[in-house]
Amino acid sequence: MFIVIRESRHSDTPAISEVVRNAYTSGVFNAWLNALFHEVTFQSIILVAALLFILFSVPLFYCIVAVPIVLVMIFVCIYGSLLMKVGQLLYEKKVEKCWVAEVYEPFFHTKKPKNCWYKFTTEEMIKTDEIQVNGLNKKIIGTVAVQKHNHLDACGWLFRLAVDERYRRKSVALKLVQTLKTWCHENRYNYIECVMSECQEGARQLFNEAGFDIKQLYHKQLFTNAISLQMFQLRCEVRQTFN
């Protein structure tokens, strides 16, 4: 079985959208857990309980229903903000170049991806080595894109890095980032930058292995000013060196 890293085509758009949407919304639970320990969560619970008691004459004891109400509201807000982020990534940003990871598997494959071994290759290598792929099902499982930096010259902005949850820990994301770095190097970019949140634990090791360093830390508001995430802006040097 193979995973092919290649440039995206127009026909890949629906599959890319699905991978990005699923990848970003899979982090909603971690973001929600992080929000539970914010001071504003406890303040919101008290406020909802007071409203139930004063406006709706709910007995004070039963005002504990404010707890699940607030928790559900926070979850919905975070989920909605992530969906908005996905829409921005897919439809608002101008893509300079995009790549996908496409898995080649048997149609009636029963093993879980985490229990399988995959060989990384390219479409050119499949043709050159005359690898037999007839009878294999093709499916896009990952993607990454780059655009020109909005504020810096000769600098690329890495975004829309996403991998199907079932195929993580297979170095798919690392191969995608390395492919993007090679392209940026060949096209005379000096740096690549990107951002990740404190909830993306797995991404920290990935970008460290790919040669990224922390440039700055900042907080980003989620949906309202009440909920925020710590963000890490990363940078990697890819400029050509001359002896």
> Above 80 in pLDDT, residue 196?
yes
> Above 70 in pLDDT, residue 223?
no
**Is residue 66, in this structure, part of any structural domain at all?**
yes
Strands across the sheet with 224-237, in order?
119-121, 2-7, 97-106, 136-148, 155-163, 191-197, 224-237, 213-222
What is the rounded distance in angstroms from the CA atom of residue 91 to the CA atom of residue 230?
25
Give the mean model confidence (pLDDT) for residues 219-239.
Answer: 78
**Is residue 203, in this structure, part of any structural domain at all?**
yes
For the stretch 15-54, pLDDT in tens is: 999 999 999 888 888 888 877 877 778 888 888 988 888 8
> Above 60 in pLDDT, residue 242?
no
Phi first, then psi: give them for residue 233, nearest 5 degrees.
-95, 125
What is the rounded distance in angstroms from the CA atom of residue 192 to the CA atom of residue 196?
14
Model confidence at 227, pLDDT cuts 50, 70, 90, reads low
At residue 243, the pLDDT reads 47
For the stretch 64-90, pLDDT in tens is: 888 999 999 989 988 988 899 899 889
How much is the mean pLDDT over the chain? Answer: 88
**Is residue 243, in this structure, part of any structural domain at all?**
no
Is beta strand 155-163 parallel, antiparallel or unpaired with respect to 191-197?
parallel
**Is residue 172, in this structure, part of any structural domain at all?**
yes
Residue of 154, 153, 122, 144 lying closest to 196 (CA atoms): 144
> Above 70 in pLDDT, residue 241?
no
What stretch of H or E contains 237?
Answer: strand 224-237
Range of the domain at 106: 2-237
**Is residue 55, in this structure, part of any structural domain at all?**
yes
For the stretch 97-148, pLDDT in tens is: 999 999 999 888 778 888 889 999 888 888 877 777 777 899 999 999 999 9
**Is residue 242, in this structure, part of any structural domain at all?**
no
Percentage, residues of the chain above pLDDT 90: 47
Strands (E), 22-176: 97-106, 119-121, 136-148, 155-163
**CATH number of the domain to which 69 belongs:** 3.40.630.30
**Is residue 132, in this structure, part of any structural domain at all?**
yes
Number of domains, the chain? 1
**Is residue 210, in this structure, part of any structural domain at all?**
yes
What is the rounded distance in angstroms from the CA atom of residue 219 to the CA atom of residue 35?
13
